[in-house]
Amino acid sequence: MARANRREPVGGAGAAAAAAARVPRARHRRRLPLFAWLMVLPAVAVLLAVTVYPLVYSLRESFYRIELTFSPTPEWVGFKNYVDALTNDPRFWPAMGRSLYLVAFGVAIELTLGFGLAVVLNRLGRPRTLVTALLLVPVMIAPVAVAIEGVVIFNNSWGPLNYLLSKIGIDGPVWLGDRSVALNTILLADVWQWTPFVAIIMAAGLRTLPEEVYEAAAVDGAGRWRTFRTLTLPLLQPLIIVTVLIRAMDIFKTFDTIFVMTGGGPGSATETASFYTYLQGLRFFSFGYAAAISYIQLIIITVIATILVRRMRKGLG
Amino acid sequence: MPKTWDEYLQVGQFFTRKAGEKLAGKTLTRPFYGCDEYGQRGFSWAWFVDRWASAGGVYFDENMKPQIDSPAAVKALQNMVTAVKTCAPKDVLNHGYDQLRDALLKNQAFMVVQWTDVPKKGADPTQSDVVGKLGYALLPGTKTGGKIVTRSMMPVGRVLAVTKNSKNPEAAYWLAKYISDDTSKFNVSTPLTGLDPYRYSQLKPSFYKMFKSKSDAQTYLKTVEGALTVGFPEIYIPGAAQYEDALDLAVNKALSGQQQPEAALKDAAKAWDSITEKLDRKHQTELWRNALKTYRELGLVK
């Protein structure tokens, strides 16, 4: 006996009724897309105007020589800007190296500390809400304000950090004036500001984990470290990947703290790719070249993000 | 006050003392430095040019060949590196305008090279811990042909212009005149701004009320006027920001120990050549020759 297909009409009258019922529904479906488009149109327009259009425009610019201090007329040069950046610019690759250093260590430290904070946060009872709110304070401060605070805190002569260190017998380094330390000082400011963000996301993720699997693991005699490695990390993998990607992209773009705290110095110690792009575009007004090195960075960070996601899935899976 | 850049180092080193040592009969509770420099990336090149220009340095020759890696330039940069290492605060490479000003006004350093607004602030008790204790002088120089030549970098000009497309040029002119002449004497003479005197009409001691006496104000203004007569220009041809950044990077690399002065300046000269090529060598050379001719006619460059 053939099974009735619930979607197909059964019998004549029923078929007519169903057909009649279908007609208004079909009309109703045709109206929906237009209405839906009208609702999202403002957001789409804004997205096109502030994201897609500048992206496409700057891609076009990257194939031109645009030196505004020399001539307002763009000159087609094809891939020359890209070739120059990749092979002839002694500052580009070192700047990229510094950016990738910040990304690698920044993400690693923030993830580690953030996770630790998340575990502590989830063990707090009533104070959790208040502590969470307090943890959000650094995240809400504008990066440029953090940088200005950093200039004061890290001041070698008058700053509170070296003062406190001196009280415990430590001669603090010249945080912003020593080229062997300056990039790590920038990293420190970033870790201070964004570790709470990672902690809050991880804490939320930890709270959604199913208790049953932990109970089963406990019954099977799994220790803390094994439980963490084989249960917690894999279960949190999607959240970790997203958090790592967000932080990696953010750290790569770091500009405010460098501009305010060190200006790219001492020497070239904190001249990262984003700072160098700013110099090329907004100090030198070499818009074509700045656009090209922006796109090179975009390609590199996209490749790294893709590799990162694949490795993390493999490692945690 | 030191008359040459070598004397500057000697004086600076003499007055540099650690915490616990004595200075002027008093035991210091904090380190005191003989000098301070603009060590931060962005403008450290100007403090180098102050030294190099006094030795006769000019950015390019007639054929647009960079002159910043000459022996005189290397010696000038070495002088600055020595100052940073031996008589400036430890975090000097993070010192910009604000820190350099405060080093003097908060009694951390014996002497600094600074803009002309700093003495006005130095005489203002709301901003300075050394009111009445400051002296002013022209920059140290370099002995050339038995004579000490001093030059003062003149970065950042203040110019108002009426465009040829202006719809109301006469009104625009009168507004420019109002800002640049009528009200400027108040703007440049107050210790609350960072403006420097730039017109002879602004050099009247009576405008500068922050000084304790008229003779103090006169000494200050005489020094300002002297500095204006030995001013040295920035690069003003297209690509100026790129040339200056390349030089600033080289200076900062030498100051931070990342490179030796000679190697750093050679890299800067190489970078300058690349910039010139990128912007069209023929066009840049023509512009530079015109600029050089004007500098010579005005006595800015010998």
Enclosing domain of residue B148: 1-154+211-302
Return the pLDDT at A216.
83
Provide the CATH number for the domain around residue B244: 3.40.190.10
* Residue B256 touches chain A, beta carbons under 8 Å: yes
**b/e B36-74 (16+ beta carbons within 10 angstroms → b):** bbbbbbbbbbbbbbbbbbbbbbbbbeeebebbbbbebbb
Say whether A181 sits in a helix, a strand or coil.
coil
The CB density around residue A258, as the number of other CB atoms within 10 Å, is 25
Return the pLDDT at A309.
78
pLDDT mean over B108-120: 94
* Phi, psi for A101 (deg, rounded to 5): -60, -45
Q: Does a structural domain hold residue A34?
A: no
Look at residue B43 and tell me whether its pLDDT is greater than 90: yes
Return the pLDDT at A4.
40
Return the pLDDT at A152.
93
Query: What residue of B is the nearest CA neighbor of A81?
Result: B278
Crossing angle for the helix pair A160-167 and A143-153, nearest 10 degrees?
Answer: 40
pLDDT tens profile B50-70? 999 999 999 999 999 999 999
**b/e A121-150 (16+ beta carbons within 10 angstroms → b):** beeeeeeeeebbeebeebeeeebeebbbbb
pLDDT tens profile A46-63? 999 999 999 999 999 999
C-alpha distance from A47 to closest chain B C-alpha (Å):
34
Q: Does a structural domain hold residue A23?
A: no
pLDDT mean over A176-195: 96
Which residue did the predictor score with more confidence, B83 or A6? Answer: B83
Return the pLDDT at A5.
42
Q: What is the DSSP string of chain B?
A: --SBHHHHHHHHHHH-B-TTSEETTEE-SS-BEEEE---STTTHHHHHHHHHHHTT--SB-TT--B-TTSHHHHHHHHHHHHHHHHTS-TTGGG--HHHHHHHHHTTSEEEE---THHHHHHT-TTT-S-TT-----PPPBEEETTEEE--EE--S-------TT-SSHHHHHHHHHIIIIITHHHHHHSTTS-----SGGG--GGG-TTSSSHHHHHHHHHHHHHHHHTEE----STTHHHHHHHHHHHHHHHHTTSS-HHHHHHHHHHHHHHHHHHT-HHHHHHHHHHHHHHHHHTTS--
Q: How far apart are the first and last CA of chain A?
A: 46
Return the pLDDT at A30.
56
Say whether A170 sits in a helix, a strand or coil.
coil
Look at residue B291 and tell me whether its pLDDT is greater than 50: yes
Look at residue A261 and tell me whether its pLDDT is greater than 80: yes
pLDDT tens profile A245-259? 999 999 999 999 999
pLDDT band per the 50, 70, 90 thresholds, residue A203: very high
C-alpha distance from A151 to closest chain B C-alpha (Å):
9
The closest alpha carbon to A62, from A311, A248, A298, A292, belongs to A292
Integer Cα distance of B47 and B152 in angstroms: 9
Enclosing domain of residue A82: 76-144+172-316
Q: Does a structural domain hold residue B92?
A: yes
pLDDT band per the 50, 70, 90 thresholds, residue A317: low
Q: How far from B187 is each of B1, B91, B194, B195, B205, CA to CA, in Å?
A: 29, 32, 9, 7, 14
Q: Which residues of B touch A67 (CB under 8 A)?
A: 238-239, 278-279
C-alpha distance from B256 to closest chain A C-alpha (Å):
6
Tell which B residues from 190 to 209 touch A, by Cβ distance under 8 Å.
Answer: none
Q: Cβ contact (<8 Å) for B239 and A284?
A: yes
Mutation for testing the B interface, residue in A154, A155, A162, A179 having most B CBs under 10 Å:
A179
The closest alpha carbon to B60, from B263, B255, B287, B227, belongs to B287
Integer Cα distance of A267 and A94 in angstroms: 12
Return the pLDDT at A310.
84
Q: Does a structural domain hold residue A107?
A: yes
* Phi, psi for A69 (deg, rounded to 5): -80, -10
pLDDT band per the 50, 70, 90 thresholds, residue A31: low
Look at residue B78 and tell me whether its pLDDT is greater than 80: yes
Q: Which of A229-233, B82-86, B187-191, B217-221 has the lowest mean pLDDT?
A: A229-233
Return the pLDDT at B34.
97
Q: What is the DSSP string of A264-316?
A: T-STTTT--HHHHHHIIIIIS-BHHHHHHHHHHHHHHHHHHHHHHHHHHHHHH
| SS3 annotation, A121-147 | HHHCCCCHHHHHHHHHHHHHCCHHHHH
Q: Does a structural domain hold residue A199?
A: yes
Look at residue A15 and tell me whether its pLDDT is greater than 70: no
Mutation for testing the A interface, residue in B28, B33, B91 having most A CBs under 10 Å:
B91
Which residue did the predictor score with more confidence, B58 or A31? Answer: B58
Chain A residues interacting with chain B (CB cutoff of 8 angstroms):
67, 69-70, 90, 151, 155-157, 174-179, 262-269, 271, 279, 283-286
B160 sits in the region (left: phi over 0; alpha: psi -120 to 50; else beta) called: beta
Q: Scan for tokens 């009247």, then name that residue.
A: B204
Q: Does a structural domain hold residue B83?
A: yes
Integer Cα distance of A73 and A242 in angstroms: 43
Quote the mean pLDDT of chain B.
Answer: 94
Q: Which of A31-35, A91-95, A107-111, A289-293 has the lowest mean pLDDT?
A: A31-35
| Residues B13 and B87 sit within 8 Å (Cβ to Cβ) | yes
Provide the CATH number for the domain around residue A254: 1.10.3720.10
Q: Does a structural domain hold residue B68?
A: yes
Quote the mean pLDDT of chain A.
Answer: 87
The closest alpha carbon to B109, from B39, B35, B47, belongs to B35
Q: Cβ contact (<8 Å) for A69 and B239?
A: yes
Return the pLDDT at A272.
97
Return the pLDDT at A16.
45
pLDDT mean over B172-190: 92
Identify which of A67, A263, A286 has the shortest CB distance to residue B41. Answer: A263
Q: Does a structural domain hold residue B170?
A: no
Return the pLDDT at A28.
52
* Residue B96 touches chain A, beta carbons under 8 Å: yes
Q: Does a structural domain hold residue A128?
A: yes
Q: At A65, which helix (H) or strand (E)?
A: strand A64-65
A-B CB pairs within 8 A amount to: 100
pLDDT band per the 50, 70, 90 thresholds, residue B174: very high
Q: Does a structural domain hold residue B241?
A: yes
**Geometric angle at alpha carbon B130, from B126 and B132, rounded to 5°:** 95
The closest alpha carbon to A91, from B81, B65, B234, B41, belongs to B41
Look at residue A18 and tell me whether its pLDDT is greater than 60: no
Distance of CA A79 to the CA centre of its chain: 29
Percent of chain A whose pLDDT exceeds 90: 64
Q: Does a structural domain hold residue B233?
A: yes
pLDDT band per the 50, 70, 90 thresholds, residue A3: very low
The residues, any chain, with a CB within 8 Å of residue A285's CB and separated by 6 or more, are: A67, A68, A69, B241
Percent of chain A whose pLDDT exceeds 70: 89
Identify which of A67, A268, A285 has the shortest CB distance to residue B249. Answer: A268
Look at residue A157 and tell me whether its pLDDT is greater than 90: no
Q: Does a structural domain hold residue A163?
A: no
Q: What is the DSSP string of A193-221?
A: HHHHHHHHHHHHHHHTS-HHHHHHHHHTT
* Residue B238 touches chain A, beta carbons under 8 Å: yes
Look at residue A229 and tell me whether its pLDDT is greater than 50: yes
Identify which of A70, A157, A264 has the shortest CB distance to residue B279. Answer: A70
Q: Cβ contact (<8 Å) for A269 and B239?
A: no
pLDDT band per the 50, 70, 90 thresholds, residue A32: low
Q: How far from A153 is each of A158, A171, A176, A254, B98, CA to CA, in Å?
A: 8, 15, 10, 19, 16
| Residues B57 and B67 sit within 8 Å (Cβ to Cβ) | yes
Domains in chain A: how many in total? 1
Q: At A75, which helix (H) or strand (E)?
A: strand A75-76
Crossing angle for the helix pair A92-123 and A287-316, nearest 10 degrees?
Answer: 40
Integer Cα distance of A264 and A275 in angstroms: 7
Q: Does a structural domain hold residue A33?
A: no
Task: Give the gyration radius of chain B's Cα atoms.
Answer: 20
Largest Cα span, chain B: 67
Query: What residue of B is the nearest CA neighbor of A68?
Result: B238
Return the pLDDT at A253.
94
Q: Cβ contact (<8 Å) for A156 and B39?
A: no
Q: What pTM does this model have?
A: 0.87
Q: Does a structural domain hold residue B202?
A: no
Look at residue A8 and tell me whether its pLDDT is greater than 70: no
Q: Does a structural domain hold residue A66?
A: no
Q: Cβ contact (<8 Å) for A156 and B280?
A: no
Structure tokens at B251: 């200076």
Q: Cβ contact (<8 Å) for A174 and B238?
A: no
pLDDT mean over B206-219: 91
Percent of chain B whose pLDDT exceeds 70: 100
Return the pLDDT at A181.
95
C-alpha distance from A177 to closest chain B C-alpha (Å):
5
Integer Cα distance of A150 and A146 in angstroms: 6
β partners of residue A64: A76
Domains in chain B: how many in total? 1
Look at residue A10 and tell me whether its pLDDT is greater than 50: no
